[in-house]
């Protein structure tokens, strides 16, 4: 059996969607219990460094291209059509519009283009609506990352529930295999200018992640002298965030720190040194950062939006989505937890994070869809 996996998106960006594609593929090709499967990995311009090692059951194909849209919708489908495989798996984004094969399996991580269209660029909202409809209608099966997303896909795209496989995200190795290193800890503090005390939020800085609400809550609580700490916003810059700190007093701005993209090797330490992790996102298909924070023993405050209660269970403190007053209340509550309650919160978080394992999810995907 030949299974083709499209990894071309790894050349363009690296967010949660690309991490899903990389991590699930690494586990699929590493497991040797199905010797009947040969994997064909397709890359854009060069083989990704994580797949440089040779494996007897893996063939690698490079497709060259520049313009992202032309590559994805014209060059890539032409190349794929010439490759014979039993299954074609697209773990990051749906199969190209002009690639037609009933045995294609596309991942639809969420349907935010319908559920919160105002939080995305208009042309991207339209693009994904077209691509998701084509994937749902043209493919026998699709993959998504939570029961919440499965239910929304079934309702919006009229896809039968038994044709939608839920494959959860997992913890990256830098968290699952974490071992404290003082030198790495100091390196992280220096590289990202981490203050001694801070509230942390990590995500792409874009409207859907609702950073403005967190900044407003932090500003008000600081002025009201209910907290005395800093705010660290980690992650790459998205769109419509240039004025995030406008109209804030200088004393507040001086307490807000941006790290930009954080290297995987140092990421656990950015979490580990935080007092609390806040995730104010208005919409998620899964929501990896709060799970990462929990794995490092950091208490988590999250909005109650979309998939987040499903993923975080009873281990998080929730606030009503978009509710500033409720968020402020939870920040004060968590930062003043009695020692015993704080330890129980951290323990519950670690246990919740351990539920999400890339190897288990990869085997579930393989045995469910590659038959």
- Tally DSSP H helices, then E strands, for the chain: 16, 13
Residue 79 has pLDDT above 60, yes or no: yes
Q: How far apart are CA 334 and CA 199, in angstroms?
A: 11
Residue that has been written with the tokens 């990202």 in this structure: 192
Residue 94 has pLDDT above 70, yes or no: yes
Quickly state the pLDDT bin for 346 (edges 50, 70, 90). very high
Distance of CA 191 to the CA centre of its chain: 23
**Torsional class of 274: left (φ above 0), alpha (ψ -120 to 50), beta (otherwise):** beta
Q: How far apart are CA 339 and CA 147, in angstroms?
A: 35
Tell me the torsion sign for CA atoms 142, 145, 147, 148. Answer: negative
Q: Which of 49-53, 129-133, 201-205 has the lowest mean pLDDT?
A: 201-205
Say what angle helices 122-138 and 147-157 make with each other, to 10 degrees: 80
Mean pLDDT across 104-133:
90
For 246, other C-beta atoms within 10 Å of its C-beta total: 7
- Which domains, ranges and CATH numbers included, belong to the chain? 2-170+357-369 (3.40.50.2000), 178-353 (3.40.50.2000)
Element at 22 (helix H, strand E) = helix 16-30
Q: Is 107 in contact with 90 (CB distance < 8 Å)?
A: yes
Question: Rounded to 10 degrees, what is the CA torsion of 135, 140, 146, 150?
Answer: 80
Q: To the nearest whole number, what is the mean pLDDT of the chain?
A: 94
Mean pLDDT across 127-135:
95
pLDDT at 171: 95
Which burial class, exposed, middle or buried, applies to 64 when counting CB atoms under 10 A from its CB (0-12, 13-18, 19+)?
exposed
Q: How far apart are CA 366 and CA 371, in angstroms?
A: 8
pLDDT at 267: 96
Inter-CA distances, 232 with 28, 141, 203, 235, 259, Å: 35, 40, 11, 10, 7
Distance of CA 53 to the CA centre of its chain: 26
pLDDT at 206: 77
Residue that has been written with the tokens 């030949």 in this structure: 2
Residue-by-residue DSSP string for 175-233: HHT----HHHHHHHHHHTT--SSEEEEES-BSGGG-HHHHHHHHHHHHHTTS---EEEE
Show the 3-state SS of 294-306: HHCCCCEEEECCC
pLDDT at 32: 80
Tell me the torsion sign for CA atoms 316, 317, 321, 327. Answer: negative
Residue-by-residue DSSP string for 318-349: EE-TT-HHHHHHHHHHHHT--HHHHHHHHHHH
* Nearest CA among 113, 117, 145, 128 for reference residue 307: 145
Q: Is 268 in contact with 177 (CB distance < 8 Å)?
A: no
pLDDT in tens, 186-242: 999 999 999 999 999 999 887 788 999 999 999 999 999 999 999 999 988 765 556
pLDDT in tens, 164-184: 999 999 999 899 999 999 999
Residue 291 has pLDDT above 80, yes or no: yes
pLDDT at 239: 57
Q: Is 92 in contact with 12 (CB distance < 8 Å)?
A: no
Name the token pair of 253. Answer: 């701005």
The answer, as to whether pTM is greater than 0.95, is no
Mean pLDDT across 299-307:
97
pLDDT at 305: 96
């Amino acid at each position: 059996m030949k299974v083709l996996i499209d990894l071309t998106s790894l050349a363009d960006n690296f967010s949660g969607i690309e991490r899903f594609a990389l991590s699930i593929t690494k586990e699929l090709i590493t497991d040797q219990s199905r010797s009947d499967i040969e994997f064909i990995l397709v890359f854009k311009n060069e083989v990704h460094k994580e797949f440089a090692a040779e494996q007897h059951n893996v063939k690698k194909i490079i497709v060259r291209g520049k313009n992202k849209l032309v590559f994805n919708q014209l060059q890539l489908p032409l190349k794929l059509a010439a490759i014979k495989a039993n299954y074609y798996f697209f773990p990051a984004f749906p199969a190209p519009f002009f690639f037609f094969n009933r045995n294609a399996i596309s991942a639809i991580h969420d349907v935010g283009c319908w559920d919160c269209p105002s939080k995305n660029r208009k042309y991207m909202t339209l693009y994904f609506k077209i691509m998701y409809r084509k994937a749902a209608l043209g493919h026998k099966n699709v993959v998504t990352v939570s029961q919440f997303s499965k239910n929304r896909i079934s309702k919006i795209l009229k896809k039968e529930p038994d044709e939608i496989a839920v494959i959860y995200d997992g913890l990256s190795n830098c968290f699952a295999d974490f071992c404290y290193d003082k030198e790495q800890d100091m390196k992280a503090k220096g590289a990202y200018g981490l203050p001694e005390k801070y509230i942390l939020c990590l995500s792409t800085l874009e409207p859907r992640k609702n950073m403005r609400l967190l900044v407003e809550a932090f500003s008000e609580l600081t002025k009201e002298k209910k907290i005395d700490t800093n705010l660290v916003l980690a992650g790459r810059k998205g769109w419509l965030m240039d004025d995030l700190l406008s109209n804030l007093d200088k004393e507040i701005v001086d307490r807000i720190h941006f790290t930009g993209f954080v290297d995987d090797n140092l990421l656990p330490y950015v979490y580990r040194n935080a007092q609390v992790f806040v995730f104010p996102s208005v919409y998620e298909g899964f929501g990896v950062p709060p799970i990462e924070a929990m794995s490092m023993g950091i208490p988590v405050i999250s909005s109650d939006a979309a998939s987040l209660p499903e993923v975080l269970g009873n281990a998080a403190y929730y606030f009503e989505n978009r509710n500033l007053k409720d968020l402020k209340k939870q920040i004060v509550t968590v930062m003043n937890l009695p020692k015993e309650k704080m330890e129980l919160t951290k323990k519950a978080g670690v246990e919740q994070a351990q539920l999400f394992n890339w190897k288990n999810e990869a085997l579930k995907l393989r045995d469910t869809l590659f038959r």
